[in-house]
């Protein structure tokens, strides 16, 4: 019997295990992280703390669902944190400073997010700017406009929208419900719509997508508009939790959103990604930070831990793509 034949029985299970880890790494990582935190801290598995984890993940997850569309189509959006702050600021400014009804102020804030996304998308699709540069410019513009409109000071959020940061029945946080609803919407867009299929096609091979009849430029506009819409929803939820729209809110959240998408298994080269994976990525970040807080770990070391998690996620993505070839 040849040496290859002797090694074959043991090689198959090893190969199966490797593929299983690469394919289900995010979920397995979340389960393992929860188990570790439960062992290290008695308070971690308390119902109230688990709900806190959900609330902490909610804003990042909603932002990340929008960023998922962009990354699936082989783009990047660095502006979502600033767009979130701008949308919340416009909503509060319209309702509080200008006295407009909430029924007008809320759609106006959402429209601002969509408009910011359309501008970024136009710069990428028609201006042929690299997505990194276009959205970096929007990051600065949106943050600046937020500061101009607010005068650099927080604006009280309308009381009618404060309920978005409350709890239903005294125990179920509304931000978690918003996160679930936006996650379901993202999943439906990706899996059940022409736009979702076009995102995967563009991310897989933009030229092949164009030759197959997809209007690549128009679809990119839709992708970035959706990212802006999700950013606006996240900003409004965050402002409701803070009971004020703060022009410097959500600073750095764009990095958390991108990290959640990558940790959730999406490829930065485009063509792959799922809303469920993004949710898992956001929960991993929230569990990690919550657990480290319970363990009284310094915020400085928490940044180190988050960076390591992101590095491992990207490494797994690289290994997964190599094994698929």
DSSP for residue 245: E
- How far is 142 from 127, CA to CA, in rounded Å? 19
Rg (the chain; Cα; Å)? 21
Both structure tokens of 63: 């932002």
Residues 6+ apart with CB under 8 A from 133: none
Question: Tokens 């290859």 correspond to what residue?
Answer: 4
C-beta of residue 33 within 8 angstroms of C-beta of residue 289: no
- 41-324, which class in CATH? mainly alpha
Residues 6+ apart with CB under 8 A from 166: 173, 174
DSSP string, 82-93: HHHHHHHHHHHI
In order along its 325 residues, the chain shows pLDDT tens digits of: 444 444 444 445 556 555 555 566 788 889 989 999 999 999 999 999 999 999 999 999 999 999 999 999 999 999 999 999 999 999 999 999 899 999 999 999 999 999 999 999 999 999 999 999 999 999 999 999 999 999 999 999 998 898 888 888 888 999 999 999 999 999 999 999 999 999 999 999 999 999 999 999 999 999 999 999 999 999 999 999 999 999 999 999 999 999 999 999 898 889 999 999 999 999 999 999 999 999 999 999 998 988 888 888 778 767 766 766 6
Question: Residue 151: left (phi > 0), alpha (psi -120 to 50), or beta?
Answer: left
- How far is 290 from 283, CA to CA, in rounded Å? 10
- How far is 282 from 227, CA to CA, in rounded Å? 16
- How far is 146 from 159, CA to CA, in rounded Å? 20
- Residue 228's Cα: distance from chain center in Å? 12
Domain ranges of the chain: 41-324
- How far is 268 from 74, CA to CA, in rounded Å? 7
Question: Tokens 């379901």 correspond to what residue?
Answer: 184
Please tell me the pTM assigned to this model. Answer: 0.90
């Amino acid at each position: 019997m040849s040496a290859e034949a002797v090694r074959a029985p043991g090689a198959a299970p090893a190969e199966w295990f490797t593929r299983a880890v690469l394919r289900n790494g995010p979920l397995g990582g979340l389960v393992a992280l929860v188990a570790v935190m439960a062992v290290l801290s008695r308070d971690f598995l308390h119902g109230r703390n688990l709900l806190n984890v959900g609330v902490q993940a909610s804003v990042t997850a909603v932002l990340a669902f929008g960023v998922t569309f962009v990354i699936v189509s082989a783009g990047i959006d660095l502006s979502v944190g600033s767009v979130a702050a701008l949308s919340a600021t416009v909503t509060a400014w319209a309702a509080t400073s200008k006295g407009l009804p909430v029924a007008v102020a809320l759609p106006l804030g959402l429209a601002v997010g969509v408009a910011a996304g359309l501008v970024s998308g136009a710069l990428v699709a028609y201006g042929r700017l690299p997505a990194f540069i276009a959205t970096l410019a929007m990051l600065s513009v949106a943050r600046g406009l937020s500061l101009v409109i607010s005068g650099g000071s927080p604006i009280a959020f309308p009381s009618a929208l404060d309920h978005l940061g409350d709890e239903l029945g005294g125990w179920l946080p509304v931000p978690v419900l918003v996160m679930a609803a936006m996650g379901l919407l993202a999943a439906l867009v990706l899996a059940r719509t022409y736009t979702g299929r076009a995102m995967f096609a563009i991310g897989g091979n933009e030229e092949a997508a164009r030759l197959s009849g997809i209007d690549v430029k128009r679809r990119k506009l839709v992708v970035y508009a959706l990212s802006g819409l999700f950013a606006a929803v996240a900003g409004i939820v965050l402002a409701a939790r803070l009971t004020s729209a703060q022009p410097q809110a959500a600073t750095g959240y764009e990095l958390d959103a991108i990290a959640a998408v990558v940790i959730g298994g999406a490829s930065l080269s485009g063509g792959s990604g799922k809303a469920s994976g993004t949710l898992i990525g956001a929960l991993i970040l929230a569990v990690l930070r919550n657990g480290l807080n319970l363990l009284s770990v310094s915020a400085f070391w928490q940044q180190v831990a988050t960076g390591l998690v992101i590095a491992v996620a990207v490494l797994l993505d690289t290994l997964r793509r190599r094994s698929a070839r």
